[in-house]
Amino acid sequence: MQPGGVYKFSMPRADLQVTAAGVRIKPALALGSWLAFKASRNGAVAMGDLVLTEKEYNRVIARLQQGGVGQTAVHKHLPDESPAIWWTHVHGDGDPVKIAETVKAALALTGTPPQGAPASSSGDSAKATELDTAAINRALGRGGKMSSGVYQVSVPRAETIQASGIDVPASMGTATALNFQPTGGGKAAINGDFVMTADEVQPVIAALEANGIQVVAVHNHLLDEEPRLFFMHFWANDEAVKLARGLKAGLDRINSAPATSAEGGTTSSTERWNFDDVAAGTLPSGWKAEQTNPSGQGAQWSVRQDPRAPSGSQVLALTNPRGASGGTFNLAWTDGVSFQDGRVEVKVKSGTGREDQGGGPVWRVQDKDNYYIARWNPLEDNFRLYYVRDGRRRQLKSATVDLAAEEWHTVAVDHRGNRITAYLNGRRIFETTDSTFSQAGGIGVWTKADAATSFDDVVVNGSPGM
């Protein structure tokens, strides 16, 4: 069992003797077939990656197709490998036992050992000790683990990935994988996956190339995921810590979840509200409704039923603007969470409003007159980033967007130090820097004037900032 309710099988190709660019490849570096299951309404969704020789490939695909298990990608992971290997991503949806039986029958057509890879030889173990894993951790800002002679580091993405009707956790293949195989003298061959959204692909390629790391392949692994993801395989064989620094340059270009204290990063915490445990007609415990530049009687917020809620059946909504208009900003927020660096995400559905519609999250909230906002407005087809200081709003960034009103959309912000990156439905819209509020503050949701907007699944992931 893996985090996120995932049941995973590993089938390393210890039977193969593969070299790439003159390096004998260990199964744990790049030759590990795997299959993972997660429960779904239809039974289970299964995803995996099979390592196949050219002689095996066609008959394995035929057997998988016969049993209703599809393929979502066929590609390379290594440069100049011998013998030729094809990495084949598989997908099943339905009866998990039938899927498992089909994959087992397909694997029987290969040389995959039924009991997994043999233990590393003493020579392999001695070579593994040459890696300064502590220095690698410091360079990456992350920790990893030694597995079958390969040092492995996994870096989940910050946002929620959805495909085939389920949330797809990192343990189902949506985490960036950085693998180091010792090659002697403190050097290592590196291989793995960078998992990126479309706008991150070119910055990551540039960062890796600038650090002597070869890009082997760029492609998709899934068919219907949201946000759309691109997977990039890489290769180099050089001084391990030097390569770790190069990989860190790539990590800095993607939307990764914060490192935990166990990985050498800052302490990370997650808070989530889906409002299903809150009495209808009230606010969540510790939340308050306030206004910047108040007008009217003060807008009314409450938790209410919504059969179309993204999760559960309740949402937090501005149910009555009560005369709010013009430059009045409506906040529902809490200072029970002290947020400084990390990610804030919320699902937003616009409702009625003649003067304004939409809204989004607020964070680093000092009080009702001082905070940051990321706001989607379907009336004006825009997405904007602001700060409000002493009740006065200033725009930092703006982009034109065309999204259907009265449907759920995800607004997310990643704020670290003075760098702010904003996302809409998993797509990075813009990035900027600002130091107006450098200290920790509360979090919440926001609308303007008479925008009667609904919110669900408020998620805060980051350092406490206390």
The larger pLDDT score, comparing residue 420 to residue 264, is at 420
pLDDT of residue 120: 45
pLDDT of residue 114: 84
pLDDT tens sequence across 208-247:
999 999 999 999 999 999 999 999 999 999 999 999 999 9
**pTM for the full model?**
0.64
Q: For 184-215, give one letter per residue: b (16+ CB within 10 A) or e.
A: eeebbbbbbbbbbbeebbeebbebbeebebeb
- Position 121 confidence tier, pLDDT thresholds 50, 70, 90: very low
pLDDT tens sequence across 26-79:
999 999 999 999 999 999 999 999 999 999 999 999 999 999 999 999 999 999
pLDDT of residue 265: 53
Q: How much is the average pLDDT of 379-403?
A: 97
The larger pLDDT score, comparing residue 376 to residue 130, is at 376
- For the cut 50, the answer to whether the pLDDT of residue 266 exceeds it is no
Percentage of residues in the chain having pLDDT higher than 70? 94
The larger pLDDT score, comparing residue 1 to residue 394, is at 394
- Position 267 confidence tier, pLDDT thresholds 50, 70, 90: very low
The larger pLDDT score, comparing residue 339 to residue 17, is at 17
pLDDT tens sequence across 397-444:
999 999 999 899 999 998 988 999 999 988 889 999 999 999 999 999
pLDDT of residue 312: 82
- For the cut 90, the answer to whether the pLDDT of residue 84 exceeds it is yes
Domains of the chain: 6-263 (no CATH), 269-462 (2.60.120.560)
247 closest CA partner among 170, 193, 186, 173 = 193
pLDDT of residue 261: 53
pLDDT of residue 466: 32
pLDDT of residue 417: 87
- For the cut 50, the answer to whether the pLDDT of residue 363 exceeds it is yes
Q: How much is the average pLDDT of 307-334?
A: 92
pLDDT of residue 58: 96
